[in-house]
Structure 1
Protein backbone atom coordinates (compact mmCIF):
# COMPACT_ATOMS: atom_id res chain seq x y z
CA UNK A 1 0.00 0.00 0.00
CA UNK A 2 1.45 3.32 -1.06
CA UNK A 3 1.37 5.30 2.14
CA UNK A 4 3.63 8.16 3.16
CA UNK A 5 2.98 9.01 6.79
CA UNK A 6 3.46 12.46 8.22
CA UNK A 7 5.89 12.75 11.11
CA UNK A 8 4.82 14.19 14.41
CA UNK A 9 6.81 15.22 17.46
CA UNK A 10 6.84 12.97 20.48
CA UNK A 11 4.77 15.44 22.49
CA UNK A 12 2.16 15.98 19.78
CA UNK A 13 -1.36 14.67 20.36
CA UNK A 14 -2.39 15.28 16.78
CA UNK A 15 -2.80 11.99 14.91
CA UNK A 16 -0.56 11.13 12.00
CA UNK A 17 -2.56 11.17 8.76
CA UNK A 18 -1.47 8.84 5.98
CA UNK A 19 -1.95 8.91 2.24
CA UNK A 20 -3.80 6.05 0.59
CA UNK A 21 -4.51 5.10 -2.99
CA UNK A 22 -7.97 5.18 -4.56
CA UNK A 23 -8.17 1.39 -4.40
CA UNK A 24 -8.34 1.67 -0.61
CA UNK A 25 -12.04 2.48 -0.95
CA UNK A 26 -12.74 -1.02 -2.20
CA UNK A 27 -10.89 -2.45 0.80
CA UNK A 28 -12.99 -0.35 3.14
CA UNK A 29 -16.19 -1.58 1.53
CA UNK A 30 -15.03 -5.19 1.61
CA UNK A 31 -13.99 -4.93 5.25
CA UNK A 32 -17.25 -3.16 6.04
CA UNK A 33 -19.23 -5.94 4.40
CA UNK A 34 -17.32 -8.52 6.42
CA UNK A 35 -18.17 -6.64 9.60
CA UNK A 36 -21.83 -6.52 8.56
CA UNK A 37 -21.80 -10.28 8.29
CA UNK A 38 -20.06 -10.71 11.64
CA UNK A 39 -22.21 -8.10 13.33
CA UNK A 40 -25.39 -9.81 12.18
CA UNK A 41 -28.50 -8.58 13.93
CA UNK A 42 -26.57 -5.93 15.83
CA UNK A 43 -25.55 -4.27 12.55
CA UNK A 44 -29.02 -4.64 11.07
CA UNK A 45 -30.51 -3.01 14.16
CA UNK A 46 -28.77 0.25 13.35
CA UNK A 47 -29.80 0.02 9.70
CA UNK A 48 -33.40 -0.56 10.79
CA UNK A 49 -33.21 2.56 12.98
CA UNK A 50 -32.25 4.67 9.96
CA UNK A 51 -35.03 3.15 7.86
CA UNK A 52 -37.65 3.53 10.61
CA UNK A 53 -36.74 7.18 11.09
CA UNK A 54 -37.25 7.75 7.37
CA UNK A 55 -40.67 6.10 7.46
CA UNK A 56 -41.73 8.08 10.52
CA UNK A 57 -40.72 11.39 8.96
CA UNK A 58 -42.61 10.50 5.80
CA UNK A 59 -45.77 9.92 7.84
CA UNK A 60 -45.40 12.98 10.07
CA UNK A 61 -44.55 15.36 7.22
CA UNK A 62 -46.82 13.77 4.60
CA UNK A 63 -48.29 17.16 3.69
CA UNK A 64 -45.11 19.19 3.94
CA UNK A 65 -42.69 17.69 1.47
CA UNK A 66 -40.45 20.72 1.42
CA UNK A 67 -39.72 20.20 5.09
CA UNK A 68 -39.74 16.42 4.68
CA UNK A 69 -37.11 16.60 1.94
CA UNK A 70 -34.91 18.84 4.05
CA UNK A 71 -35.24 16.77 7.21
CA UNK A 72 -34.84 13.44 5.45
CA UNK A 73 -31.66 14.36 3.62
CA UNK A 74 -30.53 16.48 6.55
CA UNK A 75 -31.11 13.59 8.94
CA UNK A 76 -28.21 11.87 7.23
CA UNK A 77 -26.03 14.84 8.13
CA UNK A 78 -26.25 13.39 11.62
CA UNK A 79 -25.11 10.05 10.21
CA UNK A 80 -21.51 10.29 11.54
CA UNK A 81 -22.89 10.57 15.07
CA UNK A 82 -25.74 8.09 14.69
CA UNK A 83 -23.31 5.48 13.33
CA UNK A 84 -21.14 5.48 16.45
CA UNK A 85 -22.59 2.14 17.48
CA UNK A 86 -21.46 0.69 14.16
CA UNK A 87 -17.95 2.05 14.66
CA UNK A 88 -17.90 0.43 18.09
CA UNK A 89 -19.09 -2.88 16.64
CA UNK A 90 -16.21 -2.83 14.15
CA UNK A 91 -13.79 -1.92 16.94
CA UNK A 92 -14.98 -4.85 19.04
CA UNK A 93 -14.76 -7.24 16.10
CA UNK A 94 -11.21 -5.99 15.47
CA UNK A 95 -10.32 -6.71 19.10
CA UNK A 96 -11.78 -10.21 18.88
CA UNK A 97 -14.70 -9.39 21.17
CA UNK A 98 -18.24 -10.63 20.49
CA UNK A 99 -20.25 -8.09 18.42
CA UNK A 100 -22.95 -7.51 21.03
CA UNK A 101 -25.49 -4.74 20.52
CA UNK A 102 -26.08 -3.51 24.08
CA UNK A 103 -22.53 -2.26 24.84
CA UNK A 104 -22.45 -0.28 21.58
CA UNK A 105 -25.58 1.70 22.43
CA UNK A 106 -23.55 3.85 24.80
CA UNK A 107 -20.36 4.03 22.73
CA UNK A 108 -20.39 7.81 23.08
CA UNK A 109 -20.29 7.78 26.90
CA UNK A 110 -16.50 7.55 27.51
CA UNK A 111 -15.98 10.79 25.54
CA UNK A 112 -19.36 12.35 26.21
CA UNK A 113 -18.38 16.03 26.24
CA UNK A 114 -16.55 16.01 22.92
CA UNK A 115 -18.98 13.69 21.15
CA UNK A 116 -21.83 15.85 22.44
CA UNK A 117 -20.15 19.00 21.14
CA UNK A 118 -19.65 17.46 17.71
CA UNK A 119 -23.24 16.18 17.65
CA UNK A 120 -24.46 19.69 18.52
CA UNK A 121 -22.56 21.10 15.55
CA UNK A 122 -24.16 18.51 13.28
CA UNK A 123 -27.59 19.33 14.72
CA UNK A 124 -27.10 23.03 13.96
CA UNK A 125 -26.08 22.18 10.39
CA UNK A 126 -29.22 20.04 10.10
CA UNK A 127 -31.48 22.86 11.26
CA UNK A 128 -29.86 25.38 8.93
CA UNK A 129 -30.16 22.97 5.98
CA UNK A 130 -33.83 22.26 6.80
CA UNK A 131 -34.51 26.00 6.73
CA UNK A 132 -32.54 26.44 3.51
CA UNK A 133 -34.51 23.59 1.92
CA UNK A 134 -37.81 25.33 2.66
CA UNK A 135 -36.50 28.60 1.25
CA UNK A 136 -35.40 26.94 -2.00
CA UNK A 137 -38.82 25.32 -2.40
CA UNK A 138 -40.57 28.63 -1.67
CA UNK A 139 -38.48 30.46 -4.27
CA UNK A 140 -39.29 28.04 -7.07
CA UNK A 141 -42.87 27.14 -6.14
CA UNK A 142 -44.42 30.47 -5.24
CA UNK A 143 -47.90 29.22 -6.13
CA UNK A 144 -47.84 26.51 -3.47
CA UNK A 145 -45.55 23.72 -2.36
CA UNK A 146 -45.57 20.63 -4.60
CA UNK A 147 -46.53 17.12 -3.58
CA UNK A 148 -43.96 14.38 -3.26
CA UNK A 149 -44.95 13.00 -6.66
CA UNK A 150 -44.49 16.42 -8.23
CA UNK A 151 -41.00 16.72 -6.77
CA UNK A 152 -39.97 13.30 -8.10
CA UNK A 153 -41.43 14.09 -11.53
CA UNK A 154 -39.72 17.49 -11.67
CA UNK A 155 -36.33 16.02 -10.78
CA UNK A 156 -36.54 12.95 -13.03
CA UNK A 157 -37.94 14.74 -16.07
CA UNK A 158 -35.74 17.85 -15.71
CA UNK A 159 -38.89 19.95 -15.84
CA UNK A 160 -37.26 22.58 -13.64
CA UNK A 161 -33.55 22.14 -14.09
CA UNK A 162 -32.79 25.36 -12.23
CA UNK A 163 -34.63 24.09 -9.13
CA UNK A 164 -32.79 20.77 -9.18
CA UNK A 165 -29.42 22.49 -9.68
CA UNK A 166 -29.95 25.01 -6.88
CA UNK A 167 -31.40 22.46 -4.46
CA UNK A 168 -28.61 19.93 -4.97
CA UNK A 169 -25.94 22.64 -4.96
CA UNK A 170 -27.10 23.99 -1.60
CA UNK A 171 -27.53 20.49 -0.20
CA UNK A 172 -24.17 19.48 -1.57
CA UNK A 173 -22.51 22.37 0.24
CA UNK A 174 -23.85 21.21 3.61
CA UNK A 175 -23.04 17.57 2.86
CA UNK A 176 -19.49 18.44 1.81
CA UNK A 177 -18.93 20.43 4.98
CA UNK A 178 -20.14 17.59 7.22
CA UNK A 179 -18.15 15.01 5.26
CA UNK A 180 -14.97 17.08 5.47
CA UNK A 181 -15.09 17.59 9.24
CA UNK A 182 -16.58 14.21 10.08
CA UNK A 183 -15.21 11.52 7.78
CA UNK A 184 -12.90 10.18 10.52
CA UNK A 185 -13.73 12.50 13.44
CA UNK A 186 -16.08 10.31 15.45
CA UNK A 187 -14.12 7.06 14.98
CA UNK A 188 -11.09 9.02 16.20
CA UNK A 189 -12.99 10.32 19.23
CA UNK A 190 -14.23 6.81 19.96
CA UNK A 191 -10.83 5.17 19.58
CA UNK A 192 -8.51 7.72 21.23
CA UNK A 193 -10.90 9.92 23.25
CA UNK A 194 -9.68 12.84 21.13
CA UNK A 195 -11.26 16.26 21.60
CA UNK A 196 -13.80 17.42 19.01
CA UNK A 197 -11.69 20.22 17.52
CA UNK A 198 -8.63 18.04 17.01
CA UNK A 199 -10.80 15.30 15.49
CA UNK A 200 -12.47 17.71 13.06
CA UNK A 201 -9.11 19.17 11.99
CA UNK A 202 -7.68 15.68 11.54
CA UNK A 203 -10.63 14.86 9.31
CA UNK A 204 -9.98 17.98 7.21
CA UNK A 205 -6.31 17.03 6.92
CA UNK A 206 -7.27 13.51 5.82
CA UNK A 207 -9.44 14.98 3.06
CA UNK A 208 -6.71 17.42 2.05
CA UNK A 209 -4.03 14.73 1.84
CA UNK A 210 -6.28 12.26 0.01
CA UNK A 211 -8.59 14.27 -2.28
CA UNK A 212 -9.03 11.48 -4.84
CA UNK A 213 -9.86 8.64 -2.44
CA UNK A 214 -12.06 10.94 -0.35
CA UNK A 215 -14.05 12.06 -3.39
CA UNK A 216 -14.50 8.44 -4.39
CA UNK A 217 -15.54 7.48 -0.86
CA UNK A 218 -18.03 10.37 -0.76
CA UNK A 219 -19.46 9.22 -4.11
CA UNK A 220 -19.87 5.70 -2.74
CA UNK A 221 -21.76 7.07 0.27
CA UNK A 222 -24.05 9.08 -2.00
CA UNK A 223 -24.78 6.02 -4.15
CA UNK A 224 -25.47 3.77 -1.15
CA UNK A 225 -27.71 6.35 0.49
CA UNK A 226 -29.45 6.93 -2.85
CA UNK A 227 -30.21 3.21 -3.06
CA UNK A 228 -31.76 3.45 0.38
CA UNK A 229 -33.97 6.38 -0.65
CA UNK A 230 -34.91 4.79 -3.97
CA UNK A 231 -36.20 1.70 -2.15
CA UNK A 232 -38.43 3.76 0.16
CA UNK A 233 -35.87 3.51 2.95
CA UNK A 234 -35.80 -0.30 2.99
CA UNK A 235 -32.34 -0.27 1.45
CA UNK A 236 -30.99 1.76 4.38
CA UNK A 237 -31.29 -1.36 6.53
CA UNK A 238 -28.33 -2.80 4.62
CA UNK A 239 -26.52 0.23 3.20
CA UNK A 240 -26.18 2.28 6.39
CA UNK A 241 -24.43 -0.51 8.35
CA UNK A 242 -22.13 -1.02 5.37
CA UNK A 243 -21.25 2.68 5.35
CA UNK A 244 -20.73 2.76 9.11
CA UNK A 245 -18.48 -0.29 9.26
CA UNK A 246 -16.52 0.80 6.18
CA UNK A 247 -15.98 4.22 7.76
CA UNK A 248 -14.23 2.55 10.69
CA UNK A 249 -11.84 0.84 8.29
CA UNK A 250 -11.33 4.13 6.43
CA UNK A 251 -10.30 5.63 9.75
CA UNK A 252 -7.90 2.74 10.40
CA UNK A 253 -6.33 3.21 6.98
CA UNK A 254 -6.05 6.99 7.15
CA UNK A 255 -4.85 7.43 10.74
CA UNK A 256 -1.62 5.84 11.87
CA UNK A 257 -2.00 3.91 15.09
CA UNK A 258 -0.28 5.25 18.15
CA UNK A 259 3.22 3.90 18.53
CA UNK A 260 3.38 2.61 14.94
CA UNK A 261 5.09 4.06 11.88
CA UNK A 262 4.13 1.47 9.28
CA UNK A 263 0.95 0.50 7.45
CA UNK A 264 -1.42 -1.48 9.60
CA UNK A 265 -4.21 -2.45 7.21
CA UNK A 266 -3.06 -4.69 4.44
Structure 2
Protein backbone atom coordinates (compact mmCIF):
# COMPACT_ATOMS: atom_id res chain seq x y z
CA UNK A 1 0.00 0.00 0.00
CA UNK A 2 1.61 3.27 -1.14
CA UNK A 3 -0.70 5.73 0.59
CA UNK A 4 -2.14 6.48 4.02
CA UNK A 5 -5.25 8.62 4.48
CA UNK A 6 -4.75 11.52 6.90
CA UNK A 7 -7.66 13.54 8.27
CA UNK A 8 -6.48 17.09 9.02
CA UNK A 9 -7.49 18.40 12.41
CA UNK A 10 -8.23 22.11 12.17
CA UNK A 11 -10.59 23.80 14.60
CA UNK A 12 -13.54 25.46 12.90
CA UNK A 13 -12.67 24.39 9.34
CA UNK A 14 -13.78 21.10 7.77
CA UNK A 15 -11.00 19.92 5.47
CA UNK A 16 -11.07 16.86 3.22
CA UNK A 17 -8.83 13.90 4.00
CA UNK A 18 -5.32 14.00 2.54
CA UNK A 19 -3.38 11.05 1.15
CA UNK A 20 0.18 10.54 2.36
CA UNK A 21 1.96 8.94 -0.59
CA UNK A 22 5.16 6.94 -0.22
CA UNK A 23 5.72 6.41 -3.95
CA UNK A 24 8.23 9.05 -5.06
CA UNK A 25 7.78 8.18 -8.71
CA UNK A 26 4.25 9.61 -8.48
CA UNK A 27 5.18 12.99 -10.11
CA UNK A 28 6.07 11.08 -13.27
CA UNK A 29 2.57 9.60 -13.23
CA UNK A 30 1.09 13.10 -12.87
CA UNK A 31 3.12 14.26 -15.86
CA UNK A 32 2.00 11.27 -17.93
CA UNK A 33 -1.62 11.97 -17.02
CA UNK A 34 -1.13 15.64 -17.88
CA UNK A 35 0.38 14.68 -21.22
CA UNK A 36 -2.59 12.41 -21.89
CA UNK A 37 -4.96 15.32 -21.22
CA UNK A 38 -2.97 17.49 -23.62
CA UNK A 39 -3.39 14.84 -26.30
CA UNK A 40 -7.15 14.88 -25.69
CA UNK A 41 -7.35 18.67 -26.09
CA UNK A 42 -4.34 19.56 -28.27
CA UNK A 43 -5.73 22.67 -29.93
CA UNK A 44 -6.99 24.30 -26.76
CA UNK A 45 -4.04 23.24 -24.59
CA UNK A 46 -1.32 24.29 -27.02
CA UNK A 47 -3.31 27.34 -28.11
CA UNK A 48 -3.54 28.68 -24.56
CA UNK A 49 0.05 27.57 -23.97
CA UNK A 50 1.18 29.66 -26.94
CA UNK A 51 -0.90 32.62 -25.75
CA UNK A 52 0.59 32.58 -22.24
CA UNK A 53 4.10 31.94 -23.57
CA UNK A 54 3.78 34.95 -25.88
CA UNK A 55 2.47 37.05 -23.00
CA UNK A 56 5.37 36.01 -20.78
CA UNK A 57 7.92 36.62 -23.52
CA UNK A 58 6.50 40.07 -24.27
CA UNK A 59 6.51 41.12 -20.61
CA UNK A 60 10.03 39.87 -19.95
CA UNK A 61 11.43 41.22 -23.22
CA UNK A 62 9.88 44.63 -22.64
CA UNK A 63 11.09 44.80 -19.05
CA UNK A 64 14.75 43.94 -19.50
CA UNK A 65 15.75 47.54 -20.20
CA UNK A 66 16.05 47.91 -16.42
CA UNK A 67 17.45 45.45 -13.93
CA UNK A 68 14.80 45.52 -11.26
CA UNK A 69 11.78 45.42 -13.56
CA UNK A 70 13.27 42.68 -15.71
CA UNK A 71 14.27 40.45 -12.82
CA UNK A 72 10.95 41.02 -11.07
CA UNK A 73 8.81 40.12 -14.09
CA UNK A 74 11.01 37.19 -15.09
CA UNK A 75 10.67 35.57 -11.67
CA UNK A 76 7.22 37.01 -10.93
CA UNK A 77 5.72 35.26 -13.96
CA UNK A 78 5.99 32.02 -11.97
CA UNK A 79 4.17 33.60 -9.03
CA UNK A 80 1.04 34.34 -11.06
CA UNK A 81 1.26 31.21 -13.24
CA UNK A 82 -0.96 29.10 -10.92
CA UNK A 83 -3.89 31.41 -11.66
CA UNK A 84 -3.26 31.52 -15.41
CA UNK A 85 -3.22 27.72 -15.42
CA UNK A 86 -6.89 27.62 -14.39
CA UNK A 87 -7.69 26.96 -18.07
CA UNK A 88 -5.75 23.70 -18.03
CA UNK A 89 -7.19 22.60 -14.68
CA UNK A 90 -10.67 22.87 -16.11
CA UNK A 91 -9.82 21.19 -19.40
CA UNK A 92 -8.60 18.22 -17.36
CA UNK A 93 -11.78 18.37 -15.28
CA UNK A 94 -13.87 18.25 -18.43
CA UNK A 95 -11.83 15.34 -19.81
CA UNK A 96 -12.29 13.44 -16.53
CA UNK A 97 -16.07 13.76 -16.92
CA UNK A 98 -15.87 12.80 -20.61
CA UNK A 99 -17.17 16.19 -21.72
CA UNK A 100 -16.23 17.57 -25.10
CA UNK A 101 -13.71 20.32 -24.28
CA UNK A 102 -15.16 23.77 -24.82
CA UNK A 103 -14.01 27.21 -23.80
CA UNK A 104 -17.54 28.06 -22.67
CA UNK A 105 -17.42 25.21 -20.14
CA UNK A 106 -14.41 26.83 -18.47
CA UNK A 107 -16.50 29.86 -17.56
CA UNK A 108 -19.13 27.85 -15.67
CA UNK A 109 -17.06 26.87 -12.60
CA UNK A 110 -15.46 30.32 -12.63
CA UNK A 111 -18.90 31.91 -12.37
CA UNK A 112 -20.08 29.34 -9.83
CA UNK A 113 -17.24 30.13 -7.43
CA UNK A 114 -16.17 33.50 -8.75
CA UNK A 115 -15.80 35.21 -5.36
CA UNK A 116 -13.30 32.68 -3.95
CA UNK A 117 -11.33 32.47 -7.20
CA UNK A 118 -11.30 36.27 -7.42
CA UNK A 119 -9.91 36.57 -3.88
CA UNK A 120 -7.29 33.98 -4.80
CA UNK A 121 -6.24 36.15 -7.75
CA UNK A 122 -6.04 39.19 -5.46
CA UNK A 123 -3.87 37.19 -3.04
CA UNK A 124 -1.42 36.33 -5.83
CA UNK A 125 -1.45 39.96 -6.97
CA UNK A 126 -0.64 41.08 -3.43
CA UNK A 127 2.25 38.60 -3.15
CA UNK A 128 3.54 39.76 -6.53
CA UNK A 129 3.39 43.41 -5.42
CA UNK A 130 5.32 42.51 -2.25
CA UNK A 131 7.92 40.77 -4.39
CA UNK A 132 8.20 43.81 -6.66
CA UNK A 133 8.81 46.15 -3.72
CA UNK A 134 11.25 43.80 -1.96
CA UNK A 135 13.21 43.22 -5.16
CA UNK A 136 13.37 46.97 -5.73
CA UNK A 137 14.81 47.44 -2.24
CA UNK A 138 17.39 44.66 -2.67
CA UNK A 139 18.50 45.86 -6.10
CA UNK A 140 18.48 49.49 -4.97
CA UNK A 141 20.76 48.71 -2.04
CA UNK A 142 23.10 46.61 -4.16
CA UNK A 143 23.30 48.40 -7.50
CA UNK A 144 24.60 51.90 -8.16
CA UNK A 145 23.09 54.30 -10.66
CA UNK A 146 25.42 53.41 -13.53
CA UNK A 147 24.55 49.71 -13.17
CA UNK A 148 20.77 50.01 -13.41
CA UNK A 149 20.76 48.95 -17.06
CA UNK A 150 20.98 45.28 -17.91
CA UNK A 151 24.42 45.73 -19.50
CA UNK A 152 25.77 47.46 -16.40
CA UNK A 153 24.26 44.87 -14.09
CA UNK A 154 25.72 42.03 -16.17
CA UNK A 155 29.14 43.66 -15.97
CA UNK A 156 28.73 43.91 -12.19
CA UNK A 157 27.91 40.22 -11.89
CA UNK A 158 31.08 39.39 -13.78
CA UNK A 159 33.05 41.02 -10.96
CA UNK A 160 33.87 39.72 -7.50
CA UNK A 161 30.85 41.04 -5.60
CA UNK A 162 28.11 39.18 -7.38
CA UNK A 163 27.24 36.83 -4.50
CA UNK A 164 26.51 39.74 -2.20
CA UNK A 165 23.91 40.92 -4.71
CA UNK A 166 22.39 37.65 -5.83
CA UNK A 167 22.11 35.87 -2.48
CA UNK A 168 19.72 38.36 -0.79
CA UNK A 169 17.66 38.63 -3.97
CA UNK A 170 17.50 34.85 -4.41
CA UNK A 171 16.67 34.30 -0.72
CA UNK A 172 13.69 36.66 -0.84
CA UNK A 173 12.50 35.19 -4.14
CA UNK A 174 12.77 31.59 -2.95
CA UNK A 175 10.83 32.33 0.26
CA UNK A 176 7.95 33.89 -1.67
CA UNK A 177 8.04 31.13 -4.29
CA UNK A 178 7.80 28.47 -1.56
CA UNK A 179 4.85 30.33 -0.03
CA UNK A 180 3.02 30.56 -3.36
CA UNK A 181 3.74 26.91 -4.13
CA UNK A 182 2.44 25.75 -0.75
CA UNK A 183 -0.73 27.82 -1.12
CA UNK A 184 -1.32 26.80 -4.74
CA UNK A 185 -0.59 23.07 -5.01
CA UNK A 186 -4.26 22.05 -4.98
CA UNK A 187 -6.17 25.19 -3.98
CA UNK A 188 -7.42 26.44 -7.34
CA UNK A 189 -8.32 22.99 -8.72
CA UNK A 190 -10.24 22.43 -5.47
CA UNK A 191 -12.11 25.73 -5.83
CA UNK A 192 -13.05 24.77 -9.38
CA UNK A 193 -14.11 21.23 -8.54
CA UNK A 194 -15.76 21.49 -5.13
CA UNK A 195 -16.64 25.19 -5.08
CA UNK A 196 -14.62 25.39 -1.85
CA UNK A 197 -14.13 28.76 -0.20
CA UNK A 198 -10.70 30.38 -0.31
CA UNK A 199 -9.66 29.60 3.28
CA UNK A 200 -10.62 25.92 3.02
CA UNK A 201 -8.77 25.56 -0.29
CA UNK A 202 -5.62 27.30 0.98
CA UNK A 203 -5.54 25.29 4.19
CA UNK A 204 -6.04 22.05 2.25
CA UNK A 205 -3.12 22.98 0.01
CA UNK A 206 -0.91 23.66 3.04
CA UNK A 207 -1.93 20.31 4.54
CA UNK A 208 -1.03 18.52 1.31
CA UNK A 209 2.47 20.00 1.53
CA UNK A 210 2.71 19.24 5.25
CA UNK A 211 1.58 15.64 4.75
CA UNK A 212 3.86 14.99 1.74
CA UNK A 213 6.90 17.27 2.20
CA UNK A 214 9.44 15.24 0.21
CA UNK A 215 6.98 14.43 -2.56
CA UNK A 216 6.03 18.10 -2.85
CA UNK A 217 9.70 19.11 -2.87
CA UNK A 218 10.24 16.71 -5.75
CA UNK A 219 7.23 18.13 -7.59
CA UNK A 220 8.41 21.71 -7.00
CA UNK A 221 11.88 20.89 -8.39
CA UNK A 222 10.31 19.35 -11.49
CA UNK A 223 8.25 22.52 -12.01
CA UNK A 224 11.38 24.66 -11.59
CA UNK A 225 13.36 22.50 -14.03
CA UNK A 226 10.61 22.63 -16.66
CA UNK A 227 10.22 26.39 -16.16
CA UNK A 228 13.96 26.91 -16.59
CA UNK A 229 13.69 25.01 -19.86
CA UNK A 230 10.91 27.37 -20.90
CA UNK A 231 12.98 30.45 -20.05
CA UNK A 232 16.13 29.05 -21.68
CA UNK A 233 14.31 28.65 -24.99
CA UNK A 234 12.93 32.21 -24.91
CA UNK A 235 9.51 30.83 -23.93
CA UNK A 236 9.28 28.54 -26.99
CA UNK A 237 9.26 25.39 -24.84
CA UNK A 238 6.77 27.11 -22.52
CA UNK A 239 4.10 26.49 -25.18
CA UNK A 240 4.20 22.83 -24.09
CA UNK A 241 5.61 23.15 -20.57
CA UNK A 242 2.93 25.49 -19.24
CA UNK A 243 -0.10 23.39 -20.22
CA UNK A 244 1.73 20.18 -19.21
CA UNK A 245 2.29 21.48 -15.67
CA UNK A 246 -1.26 22.84 -15.54
CA UNK A 247 -2.87 19.56 -16.57
CA UNK A 248 -0.58 17.58 -14.25
CA UNK A 249 -1.52 19.83 -11.33
CA UNK A 250 -5.14 18.75 -11.71
CA UNK A 251 -4.01 15.16 -11.19
CA UNK A 252 -1.94 16.17 -8.15
CA UNK A 253 -5.19 17.42 -6.64
CA UNK A 254 -7.18 14.34 -7.63
CA UNK A 255 -4.47 12.00 -6.35
CA UNK A 256 -3.73 13.61 -2.97
CA UNK A 257 -7.11 14.98 -1.88
CA UNK A 258 -9.67 12.32 -1.03
CA UNK A 259 -12.76 12.30 -3.25
Query: So what's the TM-score if we normalise by structure 1?
Result: 0.88
CA RMSD of aligned residues (A): 2.3
Aligned length: 256
Greater Cα offset, 15-24 or 67-76: 67-76
Counterpart contact for 1:85–1:107, Cα < 8 Å: no
Aligned counterpart, 1:65: 67
Q: How does 1:26-105 map to 2 (within 5 A)?
A: 26-104=28-106
Task: Measure how far apart 1:54 and its partner are.
Answer: 1.8
Aligned counterpart, 1:262: none
- Whole-angstrom CA distance in 2 between matches of 1:248 and 1:164: 34
Where 2:145 maps in the other structure, the secondary structure is coil
Aligned counterpart in structure 1 of residue 140 of structure 2, from 138, 141, 147: 138
Aligned counterpart in structure 2 of residue 193 of structure 1, from 192, 195, 210: 195
Where 2:18 maps in the other structure, the secondary structure is coil
Task: Measure how far apart 1:91 and its partner are.
Answer: 0.6
- 1:117-153: CA deviation from partner (whole Å, max 9, x where unpaired): 1111110000110111122211221233444356567
Counterpart contact for 2:138–2:168, Cα < 8 Å: yes
Where 1:5 maps in the other structure, the secondary structure is strand
Aligned counterpart, 1:264: none
- Structure 2 alignment gaps of length 5 or more: none
- Whole-angstrom CA distance in 1 between matches of 2:52 and 2:160: 29
Q: Does 1:205 align with 2:207?
A: yes
- Whole-angstrom CA distance in 2 between matches of 1:251 and 1:175: 19
Aligned counterpart in structure 2 of residue 236 of structure 1, from 235, 238, 249: 238
- Whole-angstrom CA distance in 1 between matches of 2:160 and 2:186: 36
Where 2:101 maps in the other structure, the secondary structure is coil
- Whole-angstrom CA distance in 1 between matches of 2:32 and 2:19: 20
Where 2:144 maps in the other structure, the secondary structure is coil
Counterpart contact for 1:17–1:206, Cα < 8 Å: yes
Aligned counterpart, 1:261: none
Given the superposition, is the C-alpha separation of residues 137 and 116 from structure 1 closer, same or farther in structure 2, using an over 3 Å criterion? same
- Structure 1 alignment gaps of length 5 or more: 258-266
Counterpart contact for 1:137–1:145, Cα < 8 Å: no
User: Which is richer in helix?
Assistant: 2
